[in-house]
Amino acid sequence: MNIQDTANARSAYAIGQPVKRKEDAQLLRGQGRYTDDIDLPNQAYAYILRSTVAHGRIKSIGIEEARKMPGVHAIYTGADMKQYGTLQSALPFKSRDGSDMKKPGKFMLSSDKVRYVGDPIACVVATSIAAAKDASEAIEVDIESLPAVTTADQAVASGAPAIFEDVPGNVALDFHYGDAEKVAAAFAQAAHKVKLKLINSRLVVNTIEPRAAIGSYDKAKDRYTLNSCSQGVMGMKAGMVAAMKTTPDKMHILTDNVGGSFGMKAAVYPEYVCILHAAKELGRPVKWTDERSSSFVSDNHGRDHEQTAELAMDAEGRFLALRLTGYGNLGGYQGGMAPQPPTLNTVRNVISLYRTPLLEVNTKCVFTNTTQLNPYRGAGRPEGNYYMERLIDYAAAQTGFDRIELRRKNQIRKSEIPFKSAAGTTYDSGDFPAILKQALDASDWKGFNKRKRESKKRKKLRGIGIGCYLEVTAPANKEMGGISFDADGGVTIRTGTLDYGQGHAAPFAQVLSERLGVPFEKVRLLQGDSDELLAGGGTGGSRSMMNSGMAIVEAAQKVVEQGKQIASHALEASAGDIEFKDGKFVVAGTDRAVDIMELARKVHAGMNLPADGPQSLDVKHVSEGAPAAYPNGCHVCEVEIEPETGNIEIVKYTAVNDFGTVINPMLVDGQTHGGVAQGIGQTLLEHVVYDEQGQLLSGSFMDYAMPRAHHVPDFAVFSHPVPATTNPLGVKGCGEAGCAGSLTSIMNAVVDALSEYGIKHIDMPASPARVWQAIQDAQKK
C-alpha cells in the first residue's frame, strides 16, 4: 500500500466518519456468544422457586419430598444462604432530618417474609432444567398472606401494612434539595403560578436476551468464576466480592455478548450468589437462565415516579422557581441505585437548559409490594426533562404565553456559558437557542397548521409537540486504557466499559487509529474479562466514550512516549530528536522513520533494548475519567389521533442533538433511534399493572405492549455539535438522550392534538383506551 492509499484508508476511519460496527458480521451470522450459549463439562442446572404471594409471612418451606426426586443434586433455602448476608444500596443518602437512608437488605432467598410476587424462596439444582422444575413443583411453601400495597401513595397512607417493621410509614428516604424558604417566597411574589401532577409510569425492561449466569469454583485455587451478562465486569466483580464475602483475588467475572440491558443487568442478583454457592458445595459448574415469564417479575423494573410540579413566573413569563413534590417507588426491596433517579438525578436534570434561579425537590422513596426498581435508560434524566417540558406547555396553556416564546425567553444564552445552575451543575458548552431554531426549521413548525387542516379532512386530530432537553451524564470514574501490540500484528484495546449493544469496537478503534495511526481493521476490543482489567466503571450514564475515550487518548500518548525511546534505538538517534506523526516515528529534519506497526514487529522479533528503558509499546493505564458532560437537543413530534378509537400514530419526528464531537455519526444516530423507540414504548404502549393483591396483571407479551416496527416513524436526525471542554475528545454522550427528547415531545404532541376538546393533560401511556376515554369525558362537560 502506497502513502496515498494509507492516507485514504486512515481518512475513511477517521473521527467523524460513519464507520460500520465491527461486530455486526459475526452477530448477523449467529456467531455471537451469549451467556446461555456457554456450557461447561459436568454442569448442573438451577431453577429458582419464586413467591406467588405479594406480601406474606413464610410459615414453612417443605423440601424433603422434592429433594428425593430424580436428578436433584441440592435444594437451597434462605437458611442455607443467610451466611452471605443481604444485598443493599451503597448510596449515602440522608433524609431531610439528617438521618441515614433506611437500607433493609434483601436476603438471597427469603425465609421469613415475601414482599413481592417473584421474591425468590428456593434454588433447586439438578441434572437438567426439567428435573429442577419438576422438583420445584414438589416444594411445599406455606405463606400467610398479608395486605399488599403497590403504589407509593398507598404505601404512605395511614394504616398501610408495614413492609419492613423497622421502616416507619414505608419511607426509606425523605429526600429534600433546595432552600424551601426562598422558593416559597418566589412563589408568593410570582405573577403566574402553575401546578401539574405528573406520573412517570413503571416499565418492565424486557431485554432481547434474558438474564443468565453460569458459576464455577476452583477448589485448588479457592476461586470463583462467574460468566454472566452485565454492564461491566469490574462493577459486577466488586458486587459479587461483597455478596460472596470473599476477596477480589478470589473472584473472576466474564461477560461475553450481551443482548441489551438499559440499566437492568448492572446489578448483582440473588441468583448469581445461589449458583456460586451451589458450584462450591457440589463441586461442579451450575447454570441458570431466566425465562420470560419469570423475568417479568424478577428483573429490576424501571421508572415509577410521581411528582407534582410547580412553576413560578413573573409577569413577562420569566421563570422564578421550580418545585417538585412527590414519590419514588422502590418496590419490595431497595435496589442498589433505585433511590438515585427520583432524587439526585432529578435535581440535576429537571432544570434542563432553562435559566431557573431557584429549585426545590422533595421526594419520598417508599417500599411497596412490587418488583424492585433500579435505573432504566436515562435513570432520572428523561424523567426530569419530562417534568419541565410538560410543565412549560401546561404553563403556556394556562397563562396564554406562546409555548415556543416561553422557552426562548428562559433558555440559557450562549454568552452566559459557563452557566452555574440552581442544581449546582456548571454547563461548560452549548448553544440552546440555535438548536431550538434548527429544530423548528427542520420540522417545518410554521407549516404545521396546513398539515393539521389536511388531517382534519381525514377526520384525524393532529398535534405537534416540542421537547427540549439537557442531560447531566454520570460523573467521572477510574477507567482503564490498555493498549497492547500483539504478536500476530493486531492491536488490543483493554477498557472497563462494556458493549451490550452500543457498538463500542468501531468508535474506540477510530479514536486509537487517529491518535496512533494504527490500521483500523487491526484493532480489537477486550472488555469482558475482569482478570485483564485494572479498573472499569462499566457502561451507564452515557459516559462510555467520555471515560474510555479519555483513557484511550491518554494511553495512546504513553505509547508515543515509550515509542520514541524504542524508536531511538531502531533509528540510531537521540530520543529527544524523535517526532511522532502520521503513525510514524521520525528523526526530526530527516526522512529516516519507522512505522509504529513495524516498530512493534521489531520488538516482537527480539529487538535489543536497554534494560533501563521500555521493553515494548504496550501500556496499562488507568485514567481518572472525564467529568459529567451535558448532551442536549430539541425534538419535535407530530401525531395523528383517530377520535373514534383513540389510536395514535406518530407521523413526523425531527431531532436535533448536541452530542459534542461525534466520533461515528451512524452509531450516534442509531442510539437516538433506539432511545426514541423506547420513548414511544413508554408514552404510548408500555404499562405495568398490579391488582389489589399485588399480582402482576401485565406479566407477558400478551398483556404488556412493546413497540413494534409499525409504531416507529421515519426519523429526521440532525447534529448540532458544540464540543465539550471537559474531555480531550470533546464528546458529550448520546446513549440516553433519545428517551429524554421523546417522552417530552410525544406527550406534548398528544396533548396538543387533544386540546381541541379542552384536554390539558393526559398521563403516560397514552393508550387508545385512555385517549378515547379522555375524549368521551371531555365531550360530557
Mean pLDDT of 274-280: 98
Four-CA torsion 101, 688, 701, 771, nearest 10 degrees: -150
- Report how far residue 401's alpha carbon sits from residue 4's, in angstroms, rounded to the nearest whole number: 59
| Contact status, residue 153 vs residue 159, Cβ threshold 8 Å | no
Residue 505 has pLDDT above 80, yes or no: yes
Residues with Cβ within 8 Å of residue 606, at least 6 apart in sequence:
none
In this prediction, residue 781 carries a pLDDT of 77
| Contact status, residue 369 vs residue 377, Cβ threshold 8 Å | no
Q: Which amino acid is at 530?
A: S
Mean pLDDT of 730-759: 97
In this prediction, residue 493 carries a pLDDT of 98
CA distances from 75 to 51, 126, 278, 295, 742 (A): 16, 9, 9, 21, 47
CA distances from 227 to 44, 275, 608 (A): 14, 11, 41
- Report how far residue 689's alpha carbon sits from residue 512's, in angstroms, rounded to the nearest whole number: 47
Q: Which amino acid is at 583?
A: G
CA distances from 208 to 141, 205, 296, 399 (A): 32, 9, 13, 45
Residue 157 has pLDDT above 70, yes or no: yes
432-455 pLDDT per residue, tens: 999 999 999 999 999 999 999 999
Which of the two residues, 301 and 12, has the higher pLDDT score?
A: 301
| Contact status, residue 735 vs residue 676, Cβ threshold 8 Å | no
| Contact status, residue 716 vs residue 442, Cβ threshold 8 Å | yes
Residue 5 has pLDDT above 60, yes or no: no
Q: Report residue 9's pLDDT band, with 50, 70 and 90 as the boundaries.
A: low
Residue 156 has pLDDT above 70, yes or no: yes
| Contact status, residue 120 vs residue 110, Cβ threshold 8 Å | yes
Strands 426-427 and 120-126 turn out to be unpaired
Q: How many CB atoms lie within 10 A of CB 147?
A: 15
Cis peptide before 713 (omega within 30 of 0): no
Q: What percent of the chain has pLDDT over 70?
A: 99
SS (H, E, C) 402-455: CHHHHHHHHECCHHHCCEECCCCCEECCCCHHHHHHHHHHHCCHHHHHHHHHHH
- Report how far residue 749's alpha carbon sits from residue 389's, in angstroms, rounded to the nearest whole number: 12
Owner of C-alpha cell 458532560: 629
Owner of C-alpha cell 488507568: 622
Q: Report residue 1's pLDDT band, with 50, 70 and 90 as the boundaries.
A: very low
| Contact status, residue 727 vs residue 447, Cβ threshold 8 Å | no
Alpha helices in 364-402 (DSSP H): 381-399
Strands 523-526 and 491-494 turn out to be parallel
Four-CA torsion 228, 231, 235, 241, nearest 10 degrees: -20
Q: Which amino acid is at 464?
A: I
Residue 6 has pLDDT above 70, yes or no: no
> Half-sphere exposure of 596 toward its Cβ, with a 13 Å CA cutoff?
31
Q: Which amino acid is at 438?
A: Q
Query: Three-state DSSP class for 636?
Result: strand
Residue 139 has pLDDT above 70, yes or no: yes
Element (H, E) at 100: none
In this prediction, residue 7 carries a pLDDT of 54
- Report how far residue 719's alpha carbon sits from residue 228's, in angstroms, rounded to the nearest whole number: 36
CA distances from 734 to 382, 675, 719 (A): 13, 9, 11
76-116 pLDDT per residue, tens: 999 999 999 999 888 999 999 999 999 999 999 999 999 99
**How far from the centroid of its chain's Cα atoms is residue 163's Cα?**
28
Residue 657 has pLDDT above 70, yes or no: yes
188-231 pLDDT per residue, tens: 999 999 999 999 999 999 999 999 999 999 999 999 999 999 99
| Contact status, residue 776 vs residue 497, Cβ threshold 8 Å | no
Mean pLDDT of 746-770: 97
Residue 8 has pLDDT above 80, yes or no: no
Q: pTM higher than 0.85, yes or no?
A: yes
Cis peptide before 418 (omega within 30 of 0): yes
Residue 10 has pLDDT above 80, yes or no: no
Q: Sign (positive/negative) of CA torsion 752, 756, 759, 764?
A: negative
Alpha helices in 466-595 (DSSP H): 505-516, 544-570
**CA angle, 343 then 346 then 348, to 5°:** 110
Sheet of 319-331: strands edge to edge? 171-177, 358-367, 319-331, 302-313, 192-203
350-389 pLDDT per residue, tens: 999 999 999 999 999 999 999 999 999 999 999 999 999 9
Q: Maximum distance among all alpha carbons in the chain?
A: 91
| Contact status, residue 234 vs residue 497, Cβ threshold 8 Å | no
Residue 337 has pLDDT above 80, yes or no: yes
| Residue of 516, 564, 543, 715 whose CA lies nearest to 629 | 543
Cross-strand partners of 526: 494
- Report how far residue 1's alpha carbon sits from residue 183's, in angstroms, rounded to the nearest whole number: 67
Residue 273 has pLDDT above 50, yes or no: yes
Name the CA radius of gyration of the chain, rounded: 28
Residue 3 has pLDDT above 60, yes or no: no
Residues with Cβ within 8 Å of residue 683, at least 6 apart in sequence:
742, 743, 746, 747, 750, 764, 765, 766
